Amino acid sequence: MHAYDLLVVGSANADLVIGVERRPAPGETVLGSDLAVHPGGKGANQAVAAARLGARTALLARVGDDAHGRLLLESQRAAGVDTAGVLVGGAPTGVALITVDPSGDNSIVVSPGANARLLPADVRAAGSLLAAARVVSVQLEIPLETVAEVVRGMAPGARLVLNPSPPAPLPAEVLAACDPLVVNEHEALTILGEQPPGASPEDWARSLLALGPRSVVVTLGAAGALVMDSRTDSGVRVPSPRVDAVDTTGAGDAFTAALAWRLSLGEELPPAAALAVRVGAAAVTTRGAQDSYPTAAEL
Ligand code: RIB
């Protein structure tokens, strides 16, 4: 019996958000809105999104012993996430500087802070958390060697969901464990390098599968998502509901969390992605990352 549907291993950031009419060009200064401070970080966002949907969720992360760290712990606890694995201290809490334009698009710069101090030894010390999770979800705002240690420490039969964000070259052992690798267009093209003109998301997914993952999910924004499984080699498109985007920050995290949760319940990839696109769509309709995540009832 697993104690957790989902263990998220990843970053926790304070999101410092400013709305702007347009994002500045190099060398340019623009004036923006009042500053808003939200709990964020790809790992913390995923954990909150999954717990809101009803997943039994734990987070393995590191925050600083400071006000931002307390903000993050509070938001996790309010969502019902098990925070026994959230380590405190070693560096200031990670910070993300975010500008959001009127179309809801954002630009983000992350100062990793304590996230960079989540080390392989911390993963080894959290062996009981890893052993208790059906699905483990990771992203790349923590050190790559920590991600690799997660892969090595996973319980037999547990499933790895990886969103390589921000994208970086991945070791073969990590790629081979992904089921699925979840990428957006930017992440897919960064990992694959230049693609032939006219290459489709199906082509990207096939090329990504050739790198070793057992399955691949390509998120396509308003167009939904594409899933492809190496065991069937067929691609399935999953459309998204139409919504008015206010702020896309954290929508990908909500998508991945929902997908990971449904996979932990034994659902196949296409129906899991169909629910995940609805969660991702709901997440763009409200400002902030975690504040915008729906409960199962709201969905
Ligand atoms: O994916 C959105 C997240 O990216 C933000 O919450 C920010 O903290 C950055 O990590």
Report how far residue 56's alpha carbon sits from residue 289's, in angstroms, rounded to the nearest whole number.
20
> Which residue is associated with the tokens 């009127």?
102
pLDDT at 105: 85
For residue 45 and ligand 1, the question of a CB distance below 6 A is answered with yes
Whether the CB-CB separation of 48 and 11 falls below 8 Å is answered with no
What is the sign of the dihedral through the CA atoms of 127, 58, 162 and 37?
A: negative
The angle subtended at Cα 249 by Cα 243 and Cα 252, nearest 5°, is 75
The angle subtended at Cα 213 by Cα 207 and Cα 217, nearest 5°, is 70
Report how far residue 215's alpha carbon sits from residue 200's, in angstroms, rounded to the nearest whole number.
17
Instruction: Report CA(136)–ligand 1 centroid distance (Å).
Output: 19
pTM of the model as a whole: 0.96
List the domains of the chain with CATH numbers. 4-292 (3.40.1190.20)
pLDDT at 2: 81
pLDDT at 1: 65
Q: What is the pLDDT of residues 222-262, one digit of tens each?
A: 899 999 999 876 799 999 999 988 888 899 999 999 999 99
pLDDT at 245: 84
The tens-digit pLDDT sequence of the chain (299 residues) is 689 999 999 999 999 999 999 999 999 999 999 999 999 999 999 999 999 999 999 999 999 999 999 999 999 999 999 999 999 999 999 999 999 999 888 899 999 999 999 999 999 999 999 999 999 999 999 999 999 999 999 999 999 999 999 999 999 999 999 999 999 999 999 999 988 889 999 999 999 999 999 999 999 998 999 999 998 767 999 999 999 888 888 999 999 999 999 999 999 999 999 999 999 999 999 888 898 899 999 98
How do strand 4-9 and strand 133-139 relate by DSSP bridges? parallel
Please tell me whether the peptide bond between 166 and the residue prior to it is cis, using omega within 30 degrees of 0.
Answer: yes
Whether the CB-CB separation of 45 and 290 falls below 8 Å is answered with yes
Protein residue with its CA nearest to atom 9 in ligand 1: 41
For residue 46 and ligand 1, the question of a CB distance below 6 A is answered with no
Report how far residue 39's alpha carbon sits from residue 71's, in angstroms, rounded to the nearest whole number.
6
Protein residue with its CA nearest to atom 6 in ligand 1: 40
Identity of residue 49: A
Token pair of 284, please?
């763009």
For residue 7 and ligand 1, the question of a CB distance below 6 A is answered with no
Instruction: Report CA(27)–ligand 1 centroid distance (Å).
Output: 24
Q: What is the pLDDT of residues 12-42, one digit of tens each?
A: 999 999 999 999 999 999 999 999 999 999 9
Whether the CB-CB separation of 143 and 241 falls below 8 Å is answered with no
Hey, which bits of the chain come out as E strands?
Answer: 4-9, 13-19, 36-40, 57-63, 86-88, 94-100, 106-111, 133-139, 159-163, 178-184, 215-219, 225-229, 235-238
For residue 213 and ligand 1, the question of a CB distance below 6 A is answered with no
For residue 250 and ligand 1, the question of a CB distance below 6 A is answered with yes
Whether the CB-CB separation of 51 and 81 falls below 8 Å is answered with yes
- Active site members: 253
pLDDT at 234: 78
Comparing C-alpha atoms, which of 94, 123, 75, 102 is closest to residue 16? 94
Gyration radius from the chain CA atoms: 18
Report how far residue 74's alpha carbon sits from residue 295's, in angstroms, rounded to the nearest whole number.
18
Whether the CB-CB separation of 225 and 241 falls below 8 Å is answered with no
**Residue 6: alpha-carbon gap to chain centroid:** 13
